[in-house]
Every structure is written in structure tokens, then in C-alpha cells.
Amino acid sequence: MKFGIVVFPGSNCDHDVYHVAKHVLGHEAAFLWHKDTTFAGVDCVVLPGGFAHGDYLRAGAVARFSPIMKSVEAFVARGGLVLGICNGFQVLTEAGLLPGALVRNGGLKYICRDVHVRTERQDTPYTSRIKQGTVLKIPIGHGEGCYFAPEEVLKELEEKRQVVFRYCDESGQVTAGSNPNGSLRAIAGVCNARGNVLGLMPHPDRSAEEVLGNAQGRRIFESIVYAWEQARRQRI
Amino acid sequence: MKARVYVTLKRGVLDPQGKTVCASLHQLGYREVTDVRVGKFMDVTLGGLPRREAEQRLKAMCEKLLANTVIEDYRFEIYEE
């Protein structure tokens, strides 16, 4: 399987994702410069964390117009897998590929620490190896990760089961204290209606190896590989 | 021709920055302040456009880039220098 990692000016987790894909999972990985317009042979596009285009104007607002985004949109329309982590999630919402927006953290502070998230569904390519209800400990590192969407959009997200990860405590309970940034409905990650695009604020790329003290984020990457292999088997 | 574009958070979108400024004003004794919302403005200089076309194009600029209409409202004023 081949991962394509988009590099915007200001991306800073591109190498983390590359390392996980290539050296932890043992799959192919390639960097995709934001001015490229094609990425033949890529099975999963990852928009990594960082501060694309300096986060000027709004996080993700300028990046969504980078030349590569047209190809990403076409890839999504064909059913391709696109994962946005942190800043990548912000880019995907700005691009309209995911609903809602990410605004300043409720407490105003940039937060960098481990949080717990509850997996709300297993039937997505990103959670195919994670049972519904599973609590994962994954780090966050953001100043603008407070998920916002109008009430009617939130209702639709719940009805279509598009909330994939929710902030929770260690036991899986969603409480006021377990929501680090004031996200509405404690949303940490959402997918599109089709399920092929996922955005999440926590960093599975920073928690994919035992040597880092936490390998729970690896399960998201392993899910992607598993889902891709299942899909390939069906095609053959 | 110049335009001043104002971008503000929609009502209902939490503005922790505004809340902090409001609390600070209270601390300074300005008890009459009941709310503060922090926004931003951009000065845009335009050349060679009739006013009506400038309005239309500014609206498009706001919708596409300058504001995120999921969370923000915008308005603008056009003026000659």
C-alpha cells in the first residue's frame, strides 16, 4: 500500500507520518509537494499536522487553495482515502470536504498532552481494526481544535454516524472535564457521509511506537492498511 | 479604491478571546461592559473596477477566502481615498 503525504509550506508532521507509514508499518510512502497536481499510485492521502501557510487568515484557509487540493478533491470523489490530522483536519473543513470548522480552544491555550478518545464506530476504513467503544490514548497539540458546526449540522452528523472519535475520560465516559478544548458534542474526529475522508485533531502519528511510550495511535494506521487490503481482495 | 472588510465570529460561536477581554475590562472597573466580541478587519486596495463590480467581486472574495461562513460573518465598506 502506498501513502502519499502532502507537504505544505509549514507542515511539520509530514516526516512523522512518513516514518510511521514506511518504517513502522513497512509500506510505501511518498511526499507530495503542495504544488504538485498528480499523485498516481497513491492509495491513501494524508494531510499532516503543522501550520500550513503559517495558518495565516485562518488555519487551513490558504492551504485549501494549494494546487494539489483539486486533485485531492477528485481523489475523494473517486472514493480515495484521505486522512487529515490536526492541521490537516482544519484544511479538510476549510475545503468543505468535511463539515464544520475548528475554532480557538475554549481555554485559549495551546494544549499539548495526551487525551482519551472513544471510537464511535468500527465500520470506517480508519477504525476497521478498532472495536466500537474502544478508548484510545492519543496526544493532541493544537490551539484551534474546538470543533464547531451549526446545530442542524451536528444533528445530521449524529444521524449519519459521522462522529468517529469523541473526547472522553479513561473509562470512556464523555464528561465536561474530559473535553480539552470545548469541542461541541466532544467531537475529536469526523468523517464524511461516504466514510472515505476522516479528520481528527489528535495525533496518531505521534503515538505509533512503543519507544515513544504510546503505540495506540498505530491502530488507526493499521486499520487503514487492513481496510485497503480487504478492499483489494474484493476487487481481485 | 479601497475596501475595509470586517470579519466577525457568528453569534453562537464561542469567542474565548472576547470573554477574556471583557473580564479584563471589568477588572479595570468598566462594569458597564456586558460583552466583547473580537473580530478582524482587512484593508483591501483595488484598482480599475467600477464600484458595482468591485462589490460583487469583494463578496466573492469574502465567501471564498476572507471569511469562513460556517463560523464567521463579514461586511465591507468601499471608499475612495
pLDDT recorded at residue A194: 97
How many CB atoms neighbour CB A170 within 10 A?
9
Q: DSSP 3-state assignment of A11?
A: strand
All domains of chain B, ordered by start, with CATH?
2-79 (3.30.1280.10)
CA dihedral in degrees (A40, A46, A51, A53; nearest 10)? 20
Look at residue B38 in the predicted model and tell me its pLDDT. 95
The neighbouring-strand residues paired with A82 are: A45, A197
pLDDT band (50, 70, 90) for residue A94: very high
Report pLDDT digits (tens) over A130-140. 999 999 999 99
Average pLDDT for chain A: 97
Confidence of residue A7 (pLDDT cuts 50, 70, 90): very high
The C-alpha angle A128, A130, A136, rounded to 5 degrees, equals 140
- Cβ contacts from A onto B, under 8 A: 37
pLDDT at B2: 95
- CATH number of the structural domain spanning residue A7: 3.40.50.880
Contact A69, A102 (CB under 8 A): no
E strands, chain A, are 2-7, 28-33, 44-47, 81-85, 101-103, 111-119, 135-142, 146-148, 163-168, 187-191, 197-200
Please state, in angstroms and rounded to a whole number, the distance separating the CA atoms of residues A29 and A44: 10
| Chain A CB contacts of B9 below 8 Å | 103
- Its ipTM equals 0.89
Q: Is the pLDDT of residue A73 over 90?
A: yes
- For residue A150, give its domain range: 2-235
Q: Average per-residue pLDDT in chain B?
A: 95
| Per-residue pLDDT at A171 | 97
Q: How far apart are alpha carbons A98 and A76 in whole angstroms?
A: 11
pTM, rounded to two decimals: 0.95
Nearest-5° Cα angle at A147, B14 to A178: 95
Residue of A204, A202, A200 lying closest to A223 (CA atoms): A204
Query: Per-residue b/e over B46-59, b at no fewer than 16 CB within 10 Å?
Result: eeeeeeeebeeebe
Q: Give the per-residue pLDDT at A147.
A: 98
pLDDT (tens digit, 9 = 90+) per residue, A159-212? Answer: 999 999 999 999 999 999 999 999 999 999 999 999 999 999 999 999 999 999
**Is A93–B20 a contact, with Cβ atoms under 8 angstroms apart?**
no
**pLDDT at A34 (0 to 100):** 97
Q: What is the pLDDT of residue A152?
A: 97
CB contact under 8 A, B13 and A93: no
Q: Does B24 touch chain A (CB under 8 A)?
A: no
Confidence of residue B48 (pLDDT cuts 50, 70, 90): confident
- Angle CA A34–A147–A153, to nearest 5: 100
The partner residue sitting opposite B68, judged by closest CB among A61, A108, A182, is: A61
Look at A100 and B20 and tell me if their CB atoms are within 8 Å.
Answer: no
Record: contact B13-A103, CB cut-off 8 A: yes
Say how many domains are in chain A.
Answer: 1
